[in-house]
Amino acid sequence: MSVAAPPSTPLIDSIRSRRIRITQLVAVGALVLFLAGAPSVVDSFTLAQILTKALWLGIAAASLIFLSSYGGMISLGQTGIYAVAGFTMANLVHAAGGKHLGWDPLAATAVGIVVATAFGLLCGAIAARSYGIYFLMITLAISVIVFYFFAQVTVLSGYGGIRSVTMPAVIGNPITDPIPLYYTALLASVLVYVGIRYLARTPFGLALQGIRDDPARMQALGYNVPLHRALAFGVGAFIASIAGILSVWYTTQISPGGINVAQTINILVIAVIGGLYRLEGAWIGAIVFSTIDNYSRVWMPNVGDWLGPDRFETVIGVIFLVIVLASPGGLVGIWEGLWGRRRRRRSPEESSGIPTKGAVDDAVDHPAAV
C-alpha cells in the first residue's frame, strides 16, 4: 500500500493528533455519559419509545450495514431473519398464541438466535452466488416468505401474532419499568458495534472486503467466494437475530404486521439515512427514524389533504430521497464531508499533500493503480 503520509513536520503532526485525540475523548466521554445516565435524565416514554427502540432498530440496521459495507451485499432479508428469531423465542415460552411451550425465556432466547442464524446460513447459501439486483430480490423474497409463513401457519402465529410473551427475569415488565431493557439493548448495541469492528480486522473480515471489491480476483487467489459470502450472511443473521429478540422484549409480543414488507423497507431506510457504508450510521439512522416516527405526528401541520400528522411515510420518504440525492453516504457522509472541507480550508498544505478522502478510497479500491 503506497498511500503517502502527509508531508508535515513531526511537531504539527503531534499537535494535530493530540487535538484530535482530545476531541475524540471528549466526544466519546459525553456519549458514554449520556447513554449510561439516560434513564435519569429523560422520561420513561422517551427512554422506551425513542432510545430503546432506536437501539434495537440500530442493531437490525447494523446487520444490513455490516453486509453492505464489508461484504457489498445489500440485503432485504434482515427483517425476515430477525422475525425467525423473535417468533422462535415467542413460541417457546409461555404466551398468548403460538405453541406456548413454557420454556425458560433465556433458553428460548438462545434457541431463537441459533435457529435464526442457521436460517441465515441457509439463506446465505442460496443467495451467495448472486450479486446486485438478483441478490436484492432473493433476500426480499426471504422476508416476504417469512411474513406469509407466520401469517398463515396459525399454530405458530397467524395474523394475530403471539402476545404477552414471558420476559426473562432480568428484563421484568418493559412497559412499567423500561430501564432494564434499555441497558440490555445498550449493552447489545455496544457488543455488536465492537464485534463488527473487530471482525472487520480479522483475516475473515479482510478477505470479505476483498471479495466485496473484486470477487473474481479473490477466487483466483484461492478463496471460496460463495462460502465466504454465505458465512458473512450467517454473521449478519446472528446480528439481526439479536435485534429480533430485543424487538419481542420491547413490545412483549410479535405479529406478522410488525415484520411485513413495510418494516423491511424501514430497516433499509434507517441504514440509508444513517449511512449505508458506516457502521455508526445504523444507530444514527435509527434514532432519527424513531424520533421522526414519534414526533412527526405532533409537529406536522395539516396542509389540506397533502400533509398532516398521518403522513409519517411521506416525511420519511422525502428525507430518504434527499439523503440519497444529496449524500449517498447518509448523515454520516454529510458530517464527514463538512469536516473534510473545514479541514482543507484550515490547513491548505494538507489539501496539497495528503490525498483527499476520495483519493484514499480510490487508492484502496484500486490498489493496483497507486
Site for another protein in 60-119 (CB under 8 A): 69-70, 72, 96-97
Of 74 and 117, which has the nearer Cβ to another protein?
74
Quote the least distance from Cβ 266 to another protein, whole Å. Answer: 12
Of 39, 172, 215, 226, which lies in the binding site for another protein, with binding defined by CB under 8 A? 215
Of 107 and 187, which has the nearer Cβ to another protein?
187
309 lines the binding site for another protein (CB under 8 A): yes
Residues 275-294 as x/- pattern, contact with another protein by CB under 8 A: --xx-x--xx--xx--x--x
298 lines the binding site for another protein (CB under 8 A): yes
Specify the stretch interacting with another protein by CB under 8 A; choose among 116-124, 137-145, 155-163, 232-240. Answer: 155-163
Quote the least distance from Cβ 184 to another protein, whole Å. Answer: 18
187 lines the binding site for another protein (CB under 8 A): no
The residue written with cell numbers 434495537 in the block is 56
251 lines the binding site for another protein (CB under 8 A): yes
C-alpha to C-alpha distance for 300 and 63, rounded to whole angstroms: 32
Quote the least distance from Cβ 315 to another protein, whole Å. Answer: 13
44 lines the binding site for another protein (CB under 8 A): yes
202 lines the binding site for another protein (CB under 8 A): no
